[in-house]
Copies of this chain bind each other. A is one copy, B any other.
Amino acid sequence: MNIKTFDYQTLLGVENLDPNLEVINDYLVTVFNDILTIEESELKRSKFHDLSIKEMHTINAVGMYKKKTSSEVAKELSITVGTLTVAINNLVKKGYVERIRSEDDRRVVKLGLTKKGKLLYRVHQHFHREMVKAVLNNMDQDEGQALLKALENLHDFLQLYK
């Protein structure tokens, strides 16, 4: 690299010259948007076309197994409890979620999936599994570990802002 090139880059604020950096960033941005829009359009195409991707994510956060409270689910989704209440109202109306007042503490509402909600949960989980399988498809053990390392790094980086 000659000094002229270096100065030019410095002036533009391009600190890191690794070409992979830009490529990886572009992939991240594209893939990010694609996942959202594809999940949305696949949902519309399925028998669950009365749901948006946000509603799907709410159902995902409610989860199959342990019944969670409204507060727990809202926190997991990073929305206010008020917003969640509205969302759950719609999902109850549509038959995916049920509310159960806790007997221990009658202020608390436990959320659970109906049979229909559980069916959807499994379908969505299947899509995710296929996606991750496709990612790992032609990758060996070491490459898989590298991906995991990258995800851990990204996760740790994001925690700094929480």
Residues of A within 8 A of B (CB): 13, 15-16, 18, 20-21, 23-25, 27-38, 41-42, 57, 60, 77-78, 122, 126, 128-139, 142-144, 146-158, 161-162
Using known A-B contacts A16-B133, A35-B32, A37-B78, determine if residue A138 contacts B158 with beta carbons closer than 8 Å.
no
Using known A-B contacts A32-B35, A35-B32, determine if residue A136 contacts B20 with beta carbons closer than 8 Å.
yes
Report the separation of the CA atoms of residues A78 and B33 in the bound assembly, to the nearest whole angstrom.
8
Contact A135 B32 (CB under 8 A): no
Contact B157 A25 (CB under 8 A): no
Indicate how many identical chains form the complex. Answer: 2
Q: Taking A33-B77, A135-B157, A139-B146 as given, write out 20 further A-B residue pairs in contact, using a Cβ cutoff of 8 Å, ordered by the A residue number.
A: A20-B148, A21-B129, A21-B132, A23-B148, A24-B132, A29-B60, A31-B158, A32-B32, A32-B35, A34-B162, A35-B158, A38-B161, A134-B157, A135-B154, A138-B149, A139-B150, A143-B146, A143-B149, A143-B150, A146-B146
Using known A-B contacts A35-B158, A37-B78, determine if residue A153 contacts B129 with beta carbons closer than 8 Å.
no
Contact A161 B31 (CB under 8 A): no
Give the shortest distance, in Å, between A129 (CB) and chain B (any CB): 7
Using known A-B contacts A147-B150, A149-B143, determine if residue A132 contacts B37 with beta carbons closer than 8 Å.
no
